[in-house]
Structure 1
Amino acid sequence: MDYILQPWPWYVAGPMMALIMFTLIYFGKTFGMSSNLRTFCTIAGAGKKTKFFDFDWKAQKWNLVVVVGAILGGFIAHFLLSVPTDIDLNPATVESLSNYGFENVGKSLLPAELYSWDAVLSLKGLSILIIGGFLVGFGTRYAGGCTSGHAITGLSNLQLPSLIAVIGFFLGGLIMIHLLFPIIFG
């Protein structure tokens, strides 16, 4: 039973993702999570106010099942198939995060300094959520999709705009972690 509680190796998970992508391409579908937000807004009636949300959301029902599957899969993976274990981080990363005030680095996937209710409901936490949410929402709309859509679907379809978007996502992540993170948490 312990083998079930281990992460799947790349040679199992990678081909499974490829199989799913080939199946979606075969049926003329594209994968991306951000398009579901548009669908949810349309279902809620946003199409009456904004033309962007005025489309036939019923054609996207299959993608809503992906959202439900992601939520259920995450719940099952976390609560039923995970064992608490230390994360093997580079000692330089542990030292760097400890210098920023993170305690118990490598003891959990989500540091309490960012993901506890106390952190989220603080002025700093709310500011990070609001500003970060706006930037992610704006970036997703401006790039024409999210990281999963561009990096998985777009690149598997050999789309140049997706390659450019993925390069931009990586550059943004590097700028955040190396330039802005020290300012925010230093």
Structure 2
Amino acid sequence: MALKYAYHPGNVAHSSAPEVADTMPPAARSLGIELIPLDGATSCGAGIIRQANDVLQVTLNARTLALAESKGLDIITPCAATAGNLHEDLTRLRDDPLLLAKTNDVLGRTSGLTLEGTVNVHHLLHVMVDEIGLDKVEANVRNPMRSRIAGYYGPNMQQEGACGDDDVYDPNYFEQLIEALG
């Protein structure tokens, strides 16, 4: 049975690494992941919108979360910034009923959506390790990597509650994936 997610390509697939947009759908298919496009989703703001208008970034991300929730799906993204920012704002909305109510008021008036907070956000790395399993990833490798590669987690990948079963302070999922890829 395929895993099914609302797919948010994130900023990385539209700007700095467009090859992600090309490779994500076939890679997902080969791993048994069904990607449902999240039509109408906006940029996560990458933390930049927050610097000028925190409420705007939370509301834009709440809209994206509500779009996925309306489909009954969790979100998957290959973008660390998107995973981190959506998770951060979802946590804030879950923890602050007043902020959630104000945000839902805006969402209702502007898009007819409501966020309950039942959706979750997953980075592709965590789905590959926690849900699919590295044994299946390894079995799908067609051209093993023969290079020396180092994983870089960055500031958005390892947030408490947002990194699957990986250790927040001593992560090793990238290293495990690199090994599985040959």
- TM-score tier, shorter chain, comes to under 0.3
Q: Which has the larger radius of gyration?
A: 1
Pick the structure with more helix per residue: 1
Structure 2 length-normalised TM: 0.27
Question: Which TM-score applies when normalising by structure 1?
Answer: 0.26
Greater relative contact order (CA < 8 Å, ≥ 6 in sequence): 1
